[in-house]
Amino acid sequence: MNHGNDHTTIWGTLSGTALGIAVSISSFDIIRTIILGAIGASVSFGVSLLWKKVSNYFKQ
């Protein structure tokens, strides 16, 4: 049995899965993810600056 290039089944499955997941996510989860992402990015930036200063200190 050869299905050829039947992309409609693949796209239907992927979009159905994505919509099923999207419906089950609450707005609180989205807000929490945004806040944790911002905190993580800020900490990462701060640590990068700290390591840059430490690196410059030992190079001198």
- pTM higher than 0.85 for the full model? no
Token pair for 10:
């693949």
Query: Would you list the domain boundaries of the chain?
Result: 7-59
What is d(CA 49, CA 53) in angstroms, rounded to the nearest whole number?
A: 6
Q: What is the pLDDT of residues 30-39, one digit of tens each?
A: 999 999 999 9
Question: What amino acid occupies position 27?
Answer: S
Running DSSP on this structure, what letter comes out for residue 25? -
The pLDDT tens digits of the residues spanning 12-28 come to: 999 999 999 888 888 89
Average pLDDT, the chain: 89
At 47, is the secondary structure helix, strand, or coil? helix
